Amino acid sequence: MNTDILKELDPLFNPQSVAHIGATNNTNKWGFSTITSLMQTYRGPIYPVNGHEDWIQGLKAYKKVTDIPGQVDLAVFTIPAERVAAAMEDCVQKGVRSAVIISAGFAEVGPEGKKLQDEVLSIARKGNIRFIGPNCMGYWSASSSLAAFMMPLLVRDGQLAFVSQGGNVGAAVVVAGYERGLGFHRYVSCGCAADVQIEDYIEYFGKDPQVKVIMAYIEGLNDGVRFMDVVKKVTPIKPVIILKPGKTEVAARAIKSHSGALAGSDAVYDVAFKKMGAIRVEDPEEMLDIAIGFLTQPMPRGHNVAIITPGGSYGVLCAQACEEGGLNVVKLPDKTIEELDKIFPPRWSRQNPVDPAGDRNFVAYMIAPLRLLELDTVDSVIFMGFGGFTLFSNLLMQQRSQQEEKMKPEQVTQRIEAMRVIIPIIEDVKSPDFNKMQSAVRQLINMLALFMGIQDLAQVGALSDVLVEARRSGNLKDDVVDDILELANAKGQRGESGRTRAEIINSFIIGLLNALVDQWIDSYKKPVITTTFTEEQVKLIGDHYDYTSGKRAARVLLHLTTYHDFLVKIGKDHRI
């Protein structure tokens, strides 16, 4: 790798000042939305450059870059393509260190555009200016809180880095990631990539300690050999997920007209990606799914998976998806079946997938994964419908509300007052004294079990032990405990936060469930991938994410397993 890549691209990702060439007050131009994006995020000096306006959105404007009194680290271009070369000459004269050319009309439009692009590149290299684009939608750098986008996008800091040769795909992935609760430390829409190449970004991301997972949308490469060399050196350190279209002639033609790139042989790309250890995905949704898997799960040690499902049919679909992908839905040993016989009704499936056949015992569902994770023959667990367990809290609160409607006001008051008895117990859950904390967690869970009508305290005790460890390891967070504290202190139907009692207990149940999954993962160092039963948008909560189907969960697990196999093959077996 180029040992100077961090130094070379630092002015791009950490500029101390920005000039926007083409900034305008005209709301019908990209120069308006781009400077709006800059002003909403960047905290350093911003210098609008416009030959016809003196002030732009409250900022003093300059006729040329060379008129700016201070140092300029980054130039953002939104002017017509034919004017970019002259403006780049000004940047060289000014000593600008980096640029992003959002302007279109270069290699993607044909030979004349390519000639203009080469001219701009030649001028930039004369001044040692590294630049993104042209024909791109801009970029984001969390370390400098800089969003130089064609239009403002929802984005937050995180552990992902993404380079996209397609602006629309890139923007859609960033916004979809935001909606899922994901953050990006770096995002680049690279466009025609005249100067900084896709492999340069991947190399830079590979050296950035804040980046844990790298993603790339690629239409074509200028130097396939160098790309392979770079990616081969990055994949042993962190995963690289690639979305590469071009499997059909129509797609290949569309790529040529869009980014000016040659699609290349899809079969050759497929073989090359596998050899490099890169993970190829089919669509942007799968790209984000796999990224979440790498951020939230340990590496599976093998291909054996156990499935638990509240509904048999979903278990069947998940098992099929696993086996179609090359995962092994492992046979359960007799001893494990005997142990599950003790907590599930006689009608349960007595095999993998584990289907309790409609059993309503919430605690049994939470104990079963322990029996599966304890097995040396199980490398990972998929818990179907886990994201639907909050229905228990909704049903519980509905039932209690119906009961309270039949009570006299003084009886309701007495019930609320009785809830406050557990306040000292809740406060002890936060105690640094382990014995106090342990006792308090067990008392709290026992009281909640009785509150939910659960009589089998032996099962509850096993659950309490997991939650004691979750509290000690930090997986059972303070805000989860505070939910119960707020509920105990609630007067009437709402707590201090303004949430209803139903909303508070729903929040508590979600936090409690997430703590359990996190603790299972920490204790057994195996993936535990959970799902919902709906296609509704799911959000990452802490380190927990519920996929919307068993098929998607199986795909994630398959890619994690394939990547682990690659690490074993090259002697780099480690966990992300």
Judge contact between 20 and 2, C-beta under 8 A: no
The pLDDT score that the predictor gives to residue 251 is: 45
Higher per-residue confidence, 415 vs 386: 386
Question: How far is 262 from 278, CA to CA, in rounded Å?
Answer: 20
Residue 570 placed within a domain: no
* Domain's final residue, options 484, 504, 523: 523
Query: Average pLDDT in the 58-80 region?
Result: 97
Higher per-residue confidence, 461 vs 535: 461
Judge contact between 138 and 131, C-beta under 8 A: no
Percentage of the chain with pLDDT > 90? 67
pLDDT digits (tens, 9 = 90+) for 373-406: 999 999 999 999 887 766 555 555 555 555 555 6
CA angle at 91 for the pair 196 and 149, rounded to the nearest 5°: 55
The pLDDT score that the predictor gives to residue 397 is: 54
Mention every residue, 6+ apart, whose C-beta is less than 8 A from residue 267: none
Q: What pLDDT band is residue 448 in, cutting at 50, 70 and 90? A: confident
Q: What pLDDT band is residue 562 in, cutting at 50, 70 and 90? A: very high
Mean pLDDT for all residues in the chain: 88
Could you list the residue range(s) of the whole structural domain that residue 122 is in? Answer: 1-136
Judged against a pLDDT cut of 70, whether residue 98 lies above it is answered with yes
Question: How far is 396 from 394, CA to CA, in rounded Å?
Answer: 5
Q: What is the number of domains present in the chain?
A: 2
Higher per-residue confidence, 2 vs 371: 371
Question: How far is 194 from 202, CA to CA, in rounded Å?
Answer: 16
Q: Which of 149-158, 249-258, 462-471 has the lowest mean pLDDT?
A: 249-258
pLDDT digits (tens, 9 = 90+) for 186-209: 999 999 999 999 999 999 999 999
Q: What is the CATH classification number for the domain harbouring 97?
A: 3.40.50.720
The pLDDT score that the predictor gives to residue 422 is: 77
Provide the token pair at 251: 């797609």
Residue 456 placed within a domain: yes
Residue 89 placed within a domain: yes
Query: Average pLDDT in the 287-305 region?
Result: 96
Q: What pLDDT band is residue 337 in, cutting at 50, 70 and 90? A: very high
Percentage of the chain with pLDDT > 70? 88
Higher per-residue confidence, 424 vs 156: 156
The pLDDT score that the predictor gives to residue 394 is: 58
Judge contact between 240 and 279, C-beta under 8 A: yes
* Domain's final residue, options 87, 112, 136: 136
Q: What is the DSSP letter of 529?
A: E
Q: What pLDDT band is residue 1 in, cutting at 50, 70 and 90? A: very low
The pLDDT score that the predictor gives to residue 2 is: 47
3 state DSSP class of 501: helix
Query: Average pLDDT in the 528-549 region?
Result: 86
Is the alpha carbon torsion for 329, 335, 337, 339 positive or negative?
A: negative
Judged against a pLDDT cut of 90, whether residue 97 lies above it is answered with yes
Judged against a pLDDT cut of 70, whether residue 441 lies above it is answered with yes
Judged against a pLDDT cut of 80, whether residue 47 lies above it is answered with yes
Q: What pLDDT band is residue 415 in, cutting at 50, 70 and 90? A: low
Residue 1 placed within a domain: yes
Angstrom CA distances, 426 to 394, 477, 490, stand at: 22, 12, 14
Question: How far is 88 from 77, CA to CA, in rounded Å?
Answer: 9
Query: Average pLDDT in the 231-235 region?
Result: 96
pLDDT digits (tens, 9 = 90+) for 489-532: 877 678 888 888 778 888 888 888 899 999 999 999 999 999 98
Higher per-residue confidence, 79 vs 573: 79
* Type and span of the H or E element at 555: helix 550-569
* Domain's final residue, options 501, 523, 545: 523
Residue 431 placed within a domain: yes
Judged against a pLDDT cut of 50, whether residue 255 lies above it is answered with no
The pLDDT score that the predictor gives to residue 460 is: 81
Judged against a pLDDT cut of 70, whether residue 414 lies above it is answered with no
Report the chain's C-alpha Rg in angstroms: 28
Question: How far is 396 from 404, CA to CA, in rounded Å?
Answer: 12
Judge contact between 294 and 239, C-beta under 8 A: yes
Residue 23 placed within a domain: yes
Query: Average pLDDT in the 66-75 region?
Result: 96
Question: How far is 353 from 177, CA to CA, in rounded Å?
Answer: 31
User: In the block, which residue shows the tokens 């006001």?
Assistant: 409
Judged against a pLDDT cut of 90, whether residue 181 lies above it is answered with yes
**Residue ranges of the alpha helices (H) in 220-361?**
224-234, 249-259, 266-276, 284-296, 312-325, 334-341
Phi/psi for 517 (5° steps) reads -60, -45
The pLDDT score that the predictor gives to residue 405 is: 59
Query: Average pLDDT in the 366-373 region?
Result: 93
Residue 439 placed within a domain: yes
